[in-house]
Amino acid sequence: MRAVILHRDLTRSALRVGPHNGAHRVALRAGLSVLVPLLVLWSMGHLDWSIYAAFGAFTSLYGRQRGGRGRAQLQVTLAVALTASVALGVVVGISPHRAWLAVPVAGLVAGIGSWFSDLEDWHPPGPLFMIFAFAAVASIPAQVEDLGAAVLVAGGSALFAVGVGSAGSAWRAVRRPSGRASAWHPRHPSAARRHVARSVIGVLVAGAVATGIGIGHPYWAMVSAVVPLAAKDLFPQLVRGLQRVVGTGLGLLTAGLLLALEPRGLVLILVVVVLQVGAELLVGRNYALALVVITPLALLMVHLAAPTPTRTLLFDRGVETVIGVVIGILTGYLTRDRSRA
C-alpha cells in the first residue's frame, strides 16, 4: 500500500506544472545573452568556439530572484566561476589522460560550486553548470593556445550576460520602483558541508563508472548525478531524478530530429537561441518539460565543438543520464540526515 501511495505522489509531483512567475524576462535575457556572442563568433568564422560562449552565457540564468546590486554581484561571481571552469576544462583537455583526470577535478569543481552555492544562495542552486562547463570542455582534445581563446570568449560572453542582467534589473526598477527581490536564505554551514560531500561523492562515482565502462561522454553522468542532489530530502530527489530521466528521453527524440536536419551557420544560431529561450520558459514550471528542449540544446553545443555520429551521441546521453541519476539518488539516500523525520 505504501508503495502505491509513493508511486502516486511521485508521479503527481513529477507532472506538476508551476506558475509562469515572470519566466519570460529570464528567457529574454538568456536568449539575448547567447545570441550576441554567437553572432560575433559567426562573423569571425569561429563558431567552433561557440561552446565557450554558451557556457559563459549561462551567467544570465542566475539572479532571477534578485535585483540591482544583488543580481549584479551574484552574476559577477558566476561569470568568474564559469569562466574558470571553462579554462580548467581546457587545461585538462590538453592532457592525453584527460578522460580519467577529468573525474577527480570534476569532483573538486562540484565541491567548490556546492559550497558557494549554499552559502551564497545561488539560484539555480548547486554546481551543475560549473560541472557541465568544466567536464564538457575537458572531454575535447585541446592545445595550449586554446586556453587564451577559451578565457576570452567565455569571459566576454559572461560579462555581456552580466550587462544584460543589470540592464534588465534597472529597467524593472524604473517600471516597478516599489518591487522587492526575494530574501537571501543561505544554508547553515553544517548543511552546506553535507551537500558538498554528497556532490563530490556523486560526481566521483558517476564519473568513474561511466569512464570505466567506456561510454563516450562521461560528463553527462556526472552532471546527472548532481541533479537530484540539489534537493535536501529523498522524496524531492526522487522527483527530480524521475523528471531528469523522462525529460531526457523525450528530449532525445527532439535532438534526433534536429541533428538529422544538420543546421549550420545562422540557422544553427537561431535554433540554439530558440531552445535556450524555451528552456528558461519551462524550467521553473516543470523540469521534465524543460529537458525536452535542454537536451537538444546541450547536444547541439557539444556536437558543434566535437562532431559525433548522431546515434552514438543519443545513446551516450540516454545511458549516462540513467547512470548518473541512479548514483545521485543512491548517494542522497546513503548520506541522508537520519535525524529528520
Provide the residue ranges of all domains of the chain, joining segments of one domain with +. 22-176+184-334
* Residue 19 dihedral angles phi and psi, to the nearest 5°: -70, 160
Contact 205, 331 (CB under 8 A): yes
How far apart CA 20 and CA 26 sit, in angstroms, is: 11
How far apart CA 129 and CA 158 sit, in angstroms, is: 13
Question: What average pLDDT score do residues 255-275 get?
Answer: 89
**182 has pLDDT over 60:** no
How far apart CA 13 and CA 28 sit, in angstroms, is: 28
* C-alpha torsion 52→47→221→134, nearest 10: -20
**55 has pLDDT over 60:** yes
**325 has pLDDT over 70:** yes
Question: What is the structure's pLDDT at 17?
Answer: 76
Question: What is the structure's pLDDT at 236?
Answer: 87
**pLDDT per position as a tens digit, 201-214:** 999 999 999 999 98
**277 has pLDDT over 90:** yes
Question: What is the structure's pLDDT at 84?
Answer: 97
By mean pLDDT, which of 81-95, 131-145, 170-184, 322-336 is the weakest?
A: 170-184
How far apart CA 34 and CA 77 sit, in angstroms, is: 18
Question: What is the structure's pLDDT at 338?
Answer: 66
| Percent residues over pLDDT 90 in the chain | 53
Contact 158, 52 (CB under 8 A): no
How many other CB atoms sit within 10 Å of the CB of residue 61? Answer: 23
Q: What is the mean pLDDT of the chain?
A: 86
| Percent residues over pLDDT 70 in the chain | 88
Question: What is the structure's pLDDT at 172?
Answer: 57
The grid cell for 190 is 553544517
Question: What is the structure's pLDDT at 232?
Answer: 81
Give residue 2's pLDDT band: very low, low, confident or very high (50, 70, 90). Answer: low
Contact 291, 128 (CB under 8 A): no
Higher pLDDT, 231 or 253: 253
How far apart CA 39 and CA 113 sit, in angstroms, is: 30
**pLDDT per position as a tens digit, 7-51:** 677 677 767 877 767 777 888 888 899 999 999 999 999 988 999
Question: What is the structure's pLDDT at 247?
Answer: 93
Question: What is the structure's pLDDT at 231?
Answer: 81
**pLDDT per position as a tens digit, 57-97:** 999 988 877 766 778 889 999 999 999 999 999 999 999 99
Question: What is the structure's pLDDT at 341?
Answer: 46
**192 has pLDDT over 90:** no
User: What is this structure's pTM?
Assistant: 0.89
Angle, vertex CA 87, rays to CA 83 and CA 93, nearest 5: 145
**190 has pLDDT over 50:** yes
Question: What is the structure's pLDDT at 70?
Answer: 78
Question: What is the structure's pLDDT at 175?
Answer: 53
